[in-house]
Amino acid sequence: MRRAVLLTVLFLISFVITPVHAESFDGTELRVSGGVFRDEHGREVVLRGFNVSGSAKLAEYRGLPFANTADARKSATAMKQLTGANAVRFLLTWAWIEPQRGQIDHAYLDGVTQQLRAFTDQGIRVYLDFHQDLYSRYLFNKDSWYTGDGAPAWAASGYPKESCGLCFHWGQNMKSNNAVTAATYDFWHNRNGVQESFVNAAGEALKHVKEALPANEFKLVVGVDPLNEPYAGKYDNGQTSQQWERDLLMPFYQRFRSEMDEAGWTSKPAFVEPLVFWNQNVDFFAEPGGLTLVPALGDRFVFNAHFYDGKAQSGVLMPGKAGDGQYTQAFGTIRDRAKALGTTSIVSEFGHPVAGNTSDKTPSVLKAIYQGLDSTAPGARWWSAPRGSVISGSQWHWDINYGRHHELMNDNPGKVKTDGDAMNDEHFSAVQLDASGNPVLTVDRAIVDRVYPQAVAGTTLAFTYEDRAYQTWQQIPLANVRSLVGSAPFAVIVWDSNGGSAPTELHLPQSLRSPLVVSSVPSTVNGDKLLLHGGSGRQFALVTAPSGANTAAAEAELRQWYVSW
């Protein structure tokens, strides 16, 4: 009798989901605890969004992500509306923080804070990234094919004339450009105190941001990425890449961590990256790494990886499209390294060009990357082996002025870059302005506006989302569930609930704003959020489009399935 009543209640709930104005539980500070991000309600939080923005690499906007604060506000609003993002990786650059040695540009940091607040005003969490590529733009001559960003001119002087030779991608400069490798090597060996200067300048920037933000907005700042994409430049005789991580990279992170503490960021984790060539799928670029020789990091650090499919971007090494489970192993490795290091993981950069000769692969690559973030199993066997944490991530990148730049490459008035990202011929922005000046996506909205568990009241045991974009990879073995879902997008989550008052929250994409929900707990819709309330112990929810199929039969199948593993 009790089961019959429960089935009836669930059946009714699944069809009548009342929109409500729910109390907000999302403004609390995050901590790393038990291998995940948790808020002050004990909920497991997943961060999803974009990098803002590659424009911070350009001199055009003086090292800021956006042309002005109005652009930042427009970007934040569009990002939230079009994608449901709840976090961004926010770029700032040493060259603009400390243009003259020992002199901090607080006007620049005021600009950083104003643009950052455009996101916290929207309730979007932020983590800072001290960005560099190829050490510094000031290493490159005015007619070079490539450019960099990061260190100020005073920290990039005295190096040999730069040349990458026959390099077909800007990243090859990391290993082939003598000026880049020499300057990078000197940074890690603190020649002339250059690394010490960087850490001190970063500390001043962190103090400035903390003092400028109201306390409630500083709570939304999650942490700091000390340095984008670290690499050695050159190794000492007999030194391995893993030893370099242990002996040079990790001590730098410890110094940076101490500087964070002195700046009042004690409660925020450092988002530390391993050697950039780690977890590469192009063999001749890959090097062992992943902080494998480093002791456990613990809760004051986050294992922060990047992932790009170099084979797909080459246009030669992977002729076809990405397929189901293409990156399951790569993201499984990220999960494993974070667990071994005693912390959580985030993939703070991933993506694929939205224009150019490999952009036909973009839908499949992005779908496969998000699949790897969501689950440890490909769609073909998810239902038989669904266990796995959901990884946070920030796609590269969000630049509403994509294709509208006016960047003097290497300060050369004869090389004005207007196309794409205006940086090393890249085309990665997921957004641009249309002819009327409105932000529009450059990629299929179904791929980037996704169901994801923003906050889980307990611990996520399994999650998947089939977006139906590009191809369908999820194969549902449960006949009644398969009939209920049909050809619609759908998500499934299983979690161990902590029974707290704060609900489990799933972002609802545009395609599922009036969803059919089959769940073991009551549910309500609040705007673009599905709120799953109460309960303790193991719970489940299926989210899809309204259907005329047998909901009670599908619920019975799901109940039998989720308690069986």
Q: 49-53, 205-209, 314-318, 512-516: which has the minimum mean pLDDT?
A: 314-318
Does 142 map to a domain? yes
CA angle 217-218-224, nearest 5°?
130
Residues of the chain above pLDDT 90, percent: 91
Whether residues 445 and 493 fall in one domain: no
**Number of domains composing the chain:** 2
Domain containing 336 — which CATH number?
Answer: 3.20.20.80
* pLDDT at site 436: 96
Instruction: Reply yes or no on whether the pLDDT at 213 is more than 60.
Output: yes
Does 3 map to a domain? no
* pLDDT at site 562: 86
Does 25 map to a domain? no
Element containing residue 210 per DSSP (H, E): helix 194-212
* pLDDT at site 20: 38
Does 327 map to a domain? yes
Higher pLDDT, 323 or 8: 323
Whether residues 348 and 493 fall in one domain: no
Whether residues 408 and 547 fall in one domain: no
Per-residue pLDDT, averaged over 109-120, amounts to 98
Q: pLDDT by residue (tens digit) across 180-194? A: 999 999 999 999 999
* pLDDT at site 24: 56
d(CA 473, CA 391): 19
Does 430 map to a domain? yes
Question: Are the CB atoms for 446 and 89 separated by under 8 Å?
Answer: no
**E strands present in 282-386:** 301-308, 345-351
Whether residues 256 and 190 fall in one domain: yes
In sign, the C-alpha dihedral spanning 29, 33, 35, 38 is negative
> Confidence class of residue 21 from pLDDT cuts 50, 70 and 90?
very low
Q: Is the pTM of this model over 0.85?
A: yes
Strand bridging mode 345-351 / 392-395: parallel
Instruction: Reply yes or no on whether the pLDDT at 271 is more than 50.
Output: yes
* pLDDT at site 6: 36
Whether residues 493 and 430 fall in one domain: no
Whether residues 227 and 348 fall in one domain: yes
* Residue type (1 letter), 90: F
Whether residues 128 and 173 fall in one domain: yes
Higher pLDDT, 8 or 428: 428
> Confidence class of residue 564 from pLDDT cuts 50, 70 and 90?
confident
Instruction: Reply yes or no on whether the pLDDT at 445 is more than 80.
Output: yes
Q: Which one of 431, 449, 467 terminates a domain?
A: 449
Whether residues 264 and 366 fall in one domain: yes
Strand bridging mode 270-272 / 516-519: unpaired
Does 440 map to a domain? yes
d(CA 234, CA 178): 10
Instruction: Reply yes or no on whether the pLDDT at 15 is more than 90.
Output: no
Per-residue pLDDT, averaged over 121-147, amounts to 97
Q: 18-32, 196-210, 259-273: which has the minimum mean pLDDT?
A: 18-32
Does 31 map to a domain? no
The whole-angstrom distance between residue 217's C-alpha and the CA centroid of its chain comes to 20
Does 326 map to a domain? yes
* pLDDT at site 3: 37
Per-residue pLDDT, averaged over 259-263, amounts to 98
Instruction: Reply yes or no on whether the pLDDT at 18 is more than 50.
Output: no
d(CA 394, CA 383): 27
CA angle 133-263-101, nearest 5°?
50
Whether residues 352 and 428 fall in one domain: yes
> Confidence class of residue 284 from pLDDT cuts 50, 70 and 90?
confident
Q: pLDDT by residue (tens digit) across 468-501? A: 998 999 999 999 999 999 999 999 999 999 988 9
Q: pLDDT by residue (tens digit) across 358-383? A: 999 999 999 999 999 999 999 999 99
Beta bridge partners of 516: 544
Residues of the chain above pLDDT 70, percent: 96
Whether residues 442 and 470 fall in one domain: no
Q: Which one of 386, 414, 449 terminates a domain?
A: 449
Q: Which one of 387, 416, 449 terminates a domain?
A: 449
**Which structural domain range is residue 500 located in?**
458-564
Instruction: Reply yes or no on whether the pLDDT at 323 is more than 80.
Output: yes
Whether residues 234 and 142 fall in one domain: yes
d(CA 132, CA 139): 13
Whether residues 465 and 444 fall in one domain: no
d(CA 110, CA 38): 30
